[in-house]
Amino acid sequence: MKKSILLAATIVLALSASAQLRPAEMEQAHAEFRRTHQARVPQIKPNAKLAEAPAAHKANTLGSKNGTNEHTASQLPPDRWFPGEWEEVQAIVVTWPYWSVPANWQQLGQQLGYYSCQPQFSGYGDIFLYNNGWQYQGFGPIDQLPLCVEYTINPTDNDFEYTNVFAYLIDGIRQGGAQPWVRVTHLYDTALIQHHMNYLGLDTTGIKWIEGFGDAFWFRDCGPICFYYGDQDSIGMLDFMYYPGRAIDDSLPSLIAAQKGLHNWVTSLEWEGGNCIVDGDGLVISSDHIYAANADRNGQLIWQGPTTSSETYAQKNPLTAQQVRDTLAYLMGPRGVKILPQFQYDGGTGHIDLYADMLDENQFVFSKFPSQYSNWTDYSTAARNIDSMTSWHSTFGHNFKKDYIPFPRKDDGSYFASQNEYNGTTYSNGYTRTYSNHTFVNNVILQPCFSKVVNGNPSAQWDRQYLDSLRAAYPGYTFYPIDVRTFDGYGGAIHCITKQIPAENPIRILHPSITGETYNAYNNSDAVINAIITNRSGIASATLFYRVNGGQWQTAPMHNSSDNNWTATLPTSGMQGDEITVEYYISASSNNGKTITKPFTGANGGAYKFWWSQESVGIADIATEEDFGQFYPNPATDQAHLDINLKNGANYKVTIVDAAGRTLHDTSLQAQGQIVYTINASLLQSGIYTVVFNNGSQQIARRLIVK
């Protein structure tokens, strides 16, 4: 213990000495080095050739790394299922950011700040010296020093803000009731890391450490995709090949397997976690980037020492598109594999987590391009992909539902001038911003934002307003916003640098939810609520919670009508009123004492919601017009906002109608392009209102609840 403390103190002194001598332009140079060498997609090394891999590294499509607790993917247990990301988790795997330096860094003294290294293998990498630009010095031994407060010149410099993304990420994971599993190069680094977090006023209890070298921080991509298997719902990991050139991070699942005791099944199919969406019941979605990744012969970078000339790429067999689909179907997709055209704005990754995710097994949530970007290639690609995804059938045979969240802007709130500006990949003009790239941690969402966070909210008005829109799209969740502007141009954000480890002893609930406008489907008949509910110990009881028009919660017992199929009747036929809004959620308890709700945030404001009208206010004739969003926040107490795309312009009569069908207010709306329509909800009594937009030929209605 004394040795660790002394070494940590030595690091602090060396970092402080070098920081005092590093001018501001050196901070910029290090940020640009980091952005180049830790970009989402690594560059193929031109001096490394293809070679037959040594026996320990040989693998076919279902190969193995031959590590502790590891198996070939051909040995996968047959009864496996991959949970959706909205399900309960026990931990999130992240890394702490590091500065890679020559191994003799203690002897470099004041010159240390002019060095940076690109790791290639544990303890070895490419060494660079800054001399009017980064100059390659050769391949050799390296070490890694944690980026902490002692390293920075002042609390506003780039390194500090970049490091704080990870510090707040770890804190947000804890806020979601999960353990942060944090990768560190040396266990003695943890003293510096904890000091940095304490400096920010953040608690460090409950952090678990994983020791080992690292390349970068894209743990979504290199980390395992976890699944449940067996009659005990044991947790396993499926390990895909990561990008060639990231050999250390490619071994992260092996590191987790060895240090956390999880079993790891390995495949040499090249794929990244950011290009994967699963619906929790056997459907896998990806982009066609996976085809290109598996069409070449470059396997992972390997090294047999001791010189750089022995760096080679293991040769692999190219796969056809059909072979890729067949392999994915075997590994993860018994109900189907869906491959979509990739975007251009995704930093070269083809990753769908930059614009889409799932709220549950029934519904997608998409980032929506504003009309100002209608000439972008990705604008039309997005429209086609969204049409495809919502035409597919859920596990219950219904078309997937959809909702939208906004698309971020530039710091000053203006739109990007072009896709070329947005797509920029250099430090000075790169963006690839997205709100979709967030991470579920039980009832918390770790949310990227693009302005300074003050008192738990973004400080820029447009950013804060968009966060309200996200809260409406993900009801009941607590949002933990993190300013990720130092990640501009990297090609990803929070989802890309986190990896879920699912909870032990899961209660699995699959339910065909009833949501939205139901017209006359339930005003004369009862709604039947069905769910498939399972747990390794069996289900002791299940209960339906529901309420009408914001009233008191009522309950109805659910009955196991057949094997694992639970049913309850929601008495909608007896509900009275001109406008009916029903909220409901399911609670299930296992025989071994665990209780879960569906949705996960059901008891915290995230219940499923559906409605219909018994009075004619035009609702039955409403066009499902995607250019009109939904009010946010909803319920509202002060102001309620609605995103509308009026394109070339329109003139609408706007009418606010109460639950009794009475018109309370008439006004007009004449505008064009993307606008935000605002209602002063503080002037309305508590209740349910319908806001009707009518232009003579088209009528749109949106529901608003005022507390």
User: Per-residue pLDDT tens for 333-343?
Assistant: 999 999 999 98
| pLDDT the model gives residue 21 | 39
* Closest CA relative to residue 502, chosen from 167, 218, 80: 80
Contact 468, 633 (CB under 8 A): yes
Instruction: Could you please state the CATH topology (level 3) that the domain comprising 622-706 is classified under.
Output: Immunoglobulin-like (2.60.40)
| pLDDT the model gives residue 56 | 45
Contact 552, 526 (CB under 8 A): no
| pLDDT the model gives residue 577 | 82
- Model pLDDT for residues 125-135, shown as the tens digit of each residue: 999 999 989 99
Q: 508-613 with 622-706: one CATH topology?
A: yes
- Tell me 525's DSSP state: S
Residues with Cβ < 8 Å from 527, sequence gap 6 or more? 514, 569, 570, 572, 582
Residue labelled with tokens 């060095």: 115
- Model pLDDT for residues 112-159, shown as the tens digit of each residue: 889 999 999 999 999 999 998 999 999 999 999 999 876 655 555 666
C-alpha–C-alpha distance, residues 60 and 323, integer Å = 13
Q: Supply the pTM of this predicted model.
A: 0.87
Residue labelled with tokens 């602090």: 12
Options 2.60.120.620, 3.40.190.10, 3.40.50.2300, 2.60.40.10; CATH for 508-613 is 2.60.40.10
| pLDDT the model gives residue 151 | 61
C-alpha–C-alpha distance, residues 80 and 265, integer Å = 12
Residues with Cβ < 8 Å from 402, sequence gap 6 or more? 363, 364, 365, 366, 386, 389, 390
**How large is the average pLDDT for residues 189-200?**
95
Domain layout of the chain by residue ranges: 508-613, 622-706
**How large is the average pLDDT for residues 508-515?**
96
> Using only C-alpha atoms, what is the Rg of the chain?
27
Alpha helices in 48-157 (DSSP H): 105-108
Contact 162, 31 (CB under 8 A): yes
| pLDDT the model gives residue 66 | 58
Alpha helices in 205-320 (DSSP H): 219-222, 247-250, 252-260, 289-293
C-alpha–C-alpha distance, residues 490 and 345, integer Å = 12
CA distances from 437 to 111, 137, 420, 448 (A): 38, 37, 21, 7
pLDDT of 606 strictly over 90: yes
- Model pLDDT for residues 448-473, shown as the tens digit of each residue: 999 999 999 999 999 999 999 999 99
Residue 82: pLDDT band (50, 70, 90) is very high
C-alpha–C-alpha distance, residues 79 and 81, integer Å = 7
* Closest CA relative to residue 233, chosen from 599, 503, 539, 586: 503
